[in-house]
Structure 1
């Protein structure tokens, strides 16, 4: 018989069952909630991943790596003369980096680089603890892979959002690239201070060598920089840089990458660390800046500063040096002819020591270099022994009186040779702060020998073009590019004076004149009724010479004859003629252009003269010969562009006449070249501008001298005196060792004997005869008149008829 359960037992059983159902239900809902939470978490993480990764850059192959790199500029023989960049980076392959360099960076920045998948959890956890304790981000746990993402794929901000993005991208990069490829990216991208990005640029910056040539000590010095390049700069903080170097070497030793002996030797090795030379300033800055403007205009700033163009130019470094030396020498000689303008300032005796200490600090304990100019202070003047005692920094020396005899007081009313100084005290006194140049390492009593110097006031420009090719070999835009970046050879527009006359005479030859044509050099007056202006032009020495041969008029630079020729052939014709010769600047529509009154650039007028040198052909000047992109694709190459603009015979006759300018005219100083040369001087009113334009069969070269503020250069400072010596100095050195060439005589030129006075065929009564060159068919057919007729002509001139 079944046992009947009591009511209480039934209730207990029901209660237990209910509890089981509740627990089971709770567990089931908890499990469901857990799954939902997990799904929501995954969805959240997926959403976060999508949110963080949607704007991440993509780099799938090394071909996608296109960082900003340096644009290089080269001379005609392939030497680097300049570079342009926003980030100075030179990308090199990993095999060109020494093993010690790679090991040093890995040991210092990420010793587990070969083991982790792009993110080092242990490093991140360690850094997070330190950041939590500090309450801010004070340390990162970045791997080399993460530093790659930070350096060229992401912004450098230090936030957790950026760190998450960095981790995602680092993981992607590890999947796409090998460890060596990641090192290639890292070592070419990382910033290492003083404008250097990547190990190659940094190696050049600090050690003046390629990365492949670095030793262990240098490798470890570079590897210590990524943490804080400015703080550990070897230039600014050598002691801090040394401590970082030691840290890197110890890390390499601990990782078994080098031995203790190697580490010790590297620590003890004294490194030659010096700032990288600024090629842009030291070699051909004016030329390089001209190239920069062209490339920026035609290819844009991004290509110029970021895309690593390779620009090859026509400039010759040796000729550029010769040109700069010639300009400096000529300006110093001109400046000394005008006298000494006095010391920079005068300081009391009590301040001399402090002044010298400042100069010594600027010298940074370096020895003074022979030929360089420094500031010094006069200690005493010894008239009895004709010396001046000078101190420059910590160095003492003397100035001998015979080397400062030029230092007369400027007087615009006197010629430079009319006043002399008798003793040094007429020029200097104790406390004078002056410029001195070191000429000898030492004289008696271990004193240096100095010469008195002063900064020239005048400026000069020089430009030289290779005749057959149009390649611009030399361009000097001013005395010192560091003080003034204005390019006076290209940007400046100055009056050429008589240097413009050959253009008028060439035009006249094409209008029927010959080298033997006679023009009367007599007073003329031109009235401008519209402007109520009367013009009475004069020759340079205010003398009139009567009947003058065409050749002689140009050789002697006769103003009146030139004006008469211009009036005869027409102003419009001359302006059009000048345009054909490559002159594009504005030209005044009046007779004053016969005297070179319209401003032209040195390049323009050299272009015009080159037409004579090239027998009537205008050759477009070439500054840039080739431009390659970063992948060595040719973007641009120069072509020889020749355009015939005047007749060959006209060009040759002009050359022949301008040879006479050198042989017997205003260009007489150029005879010292002892080679066939043609040219013309130019001097403007009030001696504001002095020119010499000349050419040999090899080079067409021009020189301008003047003051930027357009003031007189000094008494007698004409183109012959101020400009032609610079031209001569340049050409003499530029042509040294080169064979002598003569000007070719083209077909259509004939030579005939003429009367040197009348320009007609000579007779027995002719006092002097010369051979003159003519275009075929233009030789005179008439004979010179009898002497009484010639006398009648002279009498009429003397009477002003």
Structure 2
């Protein structure tokens, strides 16, 4: 066979193979292309983006997301950043039509020489197709589909459209999707503020975000940055001088501040629950909602600090509960050896660490932390006050629940006060066992300004401000007093604070007796309603409840916003029915708001990713009228008691501060109305009060109900948190007085009789009355006090 024939056959064979390949390619294209997703869906690009929660001043307080992505239009992305990504990832981007054959061949050869996949030949367009329209599987079929889609995308989208998709979709490490999230992650900047050096460092990340992470591998990130800058020079985007300047720039890696306000977790969790219930988990985590809340950042932080500080002080009063554990000498040496590997330097001041008690000298416990030594003063107050260090092997001695001794070898938790190589100063620490809650509302709007549901959200997500139902004790009394005022009582009504016995037969015929008493276990006899509330007399409240009727009082409380079941007996007067702190706050808001009920609200507006208002409390946001589903505007404010009754209760509770159990609130030196609450055996302590612009509820108790300790009343256990919070919250606010309704009448009366006296009488006091309820008789005309005592009972029965 001659050469010509061989060449001819070879040519025909090659031509046949070419035709066969074309036919196979055509068949493959025809079979695959029909099943590919439509490229025009990219025009409605809706990736998962962050839902952002804002405080009342639009400070970002939290975020919820599946992928932390913040969409930015291409017009807001600096051209140098765009050019850096193009130079690093696809230098022929502006020339090719979706596929760069030269890059594919080059990558194939390099991968063949390396014996594996070392380089990809995908263009930016192909990467977008893979990310948004295909699965990430590593198969030839996927690459084939990717190429087809890339060609289609180039026909239907502009280059800027493709770059918009790419720069917002790409993963750049540490949970950041897109260039805006990455700019915040690494430099704590908006993308528009990035320098050339920072832009080049970001553009070096797509190839391997973890390997080139500026957080973990700064040198590798720097090497990659230099590569990107050189590519930009080669492609003519920047000059060599610009590149050299960027290389020499000291790029500071500045992690973004976590968008979670310290101490706001209980509030934001309440908002999250509402959003999840209303819109669903997927919309919450991917929908890019903007949620504007009522929280005031300064108040929230003040509330959290007040609750924590108050619980720590209560815990100190209760005493040290003992060491975490005790070690023999062998286990102590092993423990300290492990610590030496951890603590190469003395722990910083403020750090909480565990240490081992190794001895004592001069009323100071000596504690080892690794190779470092610290001392705890034992006679300067705090948890360590009057503790004694005793020999190893002795047991910890207790007085009640308070430890009085620390055996050598005790493992204790301490806080570093002063730190040095020679000797550290420490304080004994233990997390408070009791819990607390604090709610602050703006009474005229119902807006929740601060919400603390416990000592530490990270340890317990149970929100005691909303989810806990506890006995309110005497904090419930103002609701009974308000009901009585609407039944004809006045602040000057004379009552008899005298003993009374209630007898009741059970189903088995057994008779029981109830002898209610006051907290001080004594009776004062004749007293006015004002004095009875100021001193929180139990018996007077019980007698008053019996007179107005338990059913009437329950309906009255429901009208004020109490939703929990209430006991239908006289113990209701003493707060024997459990309510949540939020319920009690809502009821007191009626008094502070002049008799108008407003439900507590956390959210003022919800906006979707397109700027459409989903919910709002402002009717002006809906010029055509709101849809019924836009419920935030539907707070149904309604008058439930008269302005006069609301003012009289407020005025009575001002006396609780000035002359009664709420005396701690006088420290604010401004008008406030307050009430304490303490339950049997001091299991719950309350302090509820308000000024003209702000109301707060403070509660303290144990999750598993038990006594807070002797004398741990509402005034001692709960009031300090309330006072400290209000002091900070109102610090820069002008002093205001409660507004007085026009119908309120002020008359000079004799507090011993409740009747009128001349204005110059030595015993005169000015009392407030609702219209038409002031006394008309003078004290001199009366033969005896007009005391109301409905329980003069025959004790011999």
TM range (shorter): 0.7 to 0.9
Match of 2:624 in 1: none
Residue from 424, 446, 450 that aligns with 1:474: 450
Residue from 558, 567, 577 that aligns with 2:556: 577
Question: Cα gap change, 1:413/1:762 in structure 2, threshold over 3 Å: closer, same or farther?
Answer: farther
- Return the offset for 1:604: 1.3
Deviations 1:184-210 (A, max 9, x none): 211111011222100110121122222
- Higher radius of gyration, 1 or 2: 1
The answer to whether the 8 A contact 1:76-1:313 is kept is yes
Distance in 2 separating the partners of 1:535 and 1:206: 72
Worse overlay, 766-775 or 559-568? 766-775
Does residue 59 of structure 1 match 2:37? no
Q: 1:198-217 residue pairs with structure 2 within 5 A?
A: 198-217=178-197
Match of 1:622 in 2: 601
The answer to whether the 8 A contact 2:475-2:686 is kept is yes
Question: Cα gap change, 1:274/1:558 in structure 2, threshold over 3 Å: closer, same or farther?
Answer: same
Question: Cα gap change, 1:641/1:740 in structure 2, threshold over 3 Å: closer, same or farther?
Answer: farther
Does residue 711 of structure 1 match 2:691? no
The answer to whether the 8 A contact 1:107-1:252 is kept is yes
Q: What is the number of residues matched between the two proteins?
A: 753
Distance in 1 separating the partners of 2:529 and 2:397: 36
Match of 1:459 in 2: 435
Residue from 563, 566, 585 that aligns with 1:587: 566
Question: Cα gap change, 1:355/1:530 in structure 2, threshold over 3 Å: closer, same or farther?
Answer: farther
- Return the offset for 1:398: 4.0
Deviations 1:530-565 (A, max 9, x none): 486735133223333334322222221122222222
Deviations 1:446-471 (A, max 9, x none): 75543332211111111111233322
Worse overlay, 499-508 or 307-316? 307-316
Q: 1:287-686 residue pairs with structure 2 within 5 A?
A: 287-347=267-327, 348=329, 349-351=332-334, 353-357=336-340, 359-360=342-343, 368-369=348-349, 372-378=350-356, 380-384=358-362, 386-390=363-367, 397-404=374-381, 406-408=383-385, 428=406, 431-440=409-418, 447-520=423-496, 521-527=498-504, 529-530=506-507, 534=512, 536=514, 537-638=516-617, 639=633, 641-686=636-681
Match of 1:23 in 2: none
The answer to whether the 8 A contact 2:340-2:371 is kept is yes
Match of 1:185 in 2: 165
Question: Cα gap change, 1:484/1:577 in structure 2, threshold over 3 Å: closer, same or farther?
Answer: same
Question: Cα gap change, 1:166/1:648 in structure 2, threshold over 3 Å: closer, same or farther?
Answer: same
Question: Cα gap change, 1:394/1:748 in structure 2, threshold over 3 Å: closer, same or farther?
Answer: farther
The answer to whether the 8 A contact 1:81-1:283 is kept is no
Question: Cα gap change, 1:166/1:787 in structure 2, threshold over 3 Å: closer, same or farther?
Answer: same
- Return the offset for 1:786: 9.2
Matched residue of 1:183: which SS? helix
Question: Cα gap change, 1:582/1:723 in structure 2, threshold over 3 Å: closer, same or farther?
Answer: same
Distance in 1 separating the partners of 2:21 and 2:209: 45
The answer to whether the 8 A contact 1:501-1:595 is kept is yes
Match of 2:754 in 1: 759
Distance in 2 separating the partners of 1:42 and 1:105: 32
The answer to whether the 8 A contact 2:377-2:384 is kept is no
Distance in 1 separating the partners of 2:22 and 2:258: 62
Question: Cα gap change, 1:387/1:598 in structure 2, threshold over 3 Å: closer, same or farther?
Answer: same
Worse overlay, 747-756 or 725-734? 747-756
Residue from 87, 93, 104 that aligns with 2:67: 87
Matched residue of 2:40: which SS? coil
Question: Cα gap change, 1:392/1:235 in structure 2, threshold over 3 Å: closer, same or farther?
Answer: farther
The answer to whether the 8 A contact 2:60-2:260 is kept is no
* CA RMSD of superposed structures (Å): 3.7
The answer to whether the 8 A contact 1:359-1:392 is kept is no
The answer to whether the 8 A contact 2:756-2:779 is kept is yes
Distance in 2 separating the partners of 1:643 and 1:650: 15
Question: Cα gap change, 1:787/1:573 in structure 2, threshold over 3 Å: closer, same or farther?
Answer: closer
Distance in 2 separating the partners of 1:242 and 1:367: 32
- Return the offset for 1:433: 3.6
Matched residue of 1:59: which SS? helix
Deviations 1:592-641 (A, max 9, x none): 22221222121211111111112211233232122222222222221475
Question: Cα gap change, 1:530/1:783 in structure 2, threshold over 3 Å: closer, same or farther?
Answer: farther
> Normalization by structure 1: what TM-score?
0.85
| Structure 1 unmatched runs, 5+ | 1-28
Matched residue of 2:339: which SS? helix
Question: Cα gap change, 1:743/1:453 in structure 2, threshold over 3 Å: closer, same or farther?
Answer: same
Distance in 2 separating the partners of 1:799 and 1:769: 36
Matched residue of 2:577: which SS? coil
Matched residue of 1:155: which SS? coil
Question: Cα gap change, 1:798/1:645 in structure 2, threshold over 3 Å: closer, same or farther?
Answer: closer
Following TM superposition, the consecutive aligned residue runs of length 4 or more in structure 1 with deviations greater than 6 angstroms are 33-40, 130-138, 409-416, 785-788, 790-794, 796-799
Residue from 705, 713, 720 that aligns with 2:715: 720
Distance in 1 separating the partners of 2:254 and 2:465: 34
Match of 1:20 in 2: none
Match of 2:628 in 1: none
Does residue 197 of structure 1 match 2:190? no
Question: Cα gap change, 1:37/1:152 in structure 2, threshold over 3 Å: closer, same or farther?
Answer: closer
Distance in 1 separating the partners of 2:346 and 2:222: 23
Match of 2:738 in 1: 743
Match of 2:31 in 1: 48
Matched residue of 2:597: which SS? strand
- Return the offset for 1:375: 0.6
Question: Cα gap change, 1:430/1:206 in structure 2, threshold over 3 Å: closer, same or farther?
Answer: farther
Distance in 2 separating the partners of 1:265 and 1:792: 92
Distance in 1 separating the partners of 2:704 and 2:213: 44
Distance in 2 separating the partners of 1:243 and 1:713: 62
Distance in 2 separating the partners of 1:572 and 1:665: 29
- Return the offset for 1:696: 0.7
Worse overlay, 733-742 or 231-240? 231-240
- Return the offset for 1:108: 2.3
Distance in 2 separating the partners of 1:610 and 1:451: 41
Residue from 105, 117, 124 that aligns with 2:85: 105
Distance in 2 separating the partners of 1:265 and 1:379: 57
Question: Cα gap change, 1:413/1:112 in structure 2, threshold over 3 Å: closer, same or farther?
Answer: closer
Distance in 2 separating the partners of 1:587 and 1:104: 69
Distance in 2 separating the partners of 1:179 and 1:746: 68
Matched residue of 1:464: which SS? strand
> Normalization by structure 2: what TM-score?
0.85
Question: Cα gap change, 1:135/1:47 in structure 2, threshold over 3 Å: closer, same or farther?
Answer: farther
Question: Cα gap change, 1:407/1:58 in structure 2, threshold over 3 Å: closer, same or farther?
Answer: same
- Return the offset for 1:240: 4.5
- Return the offset for 1:486: 1.9
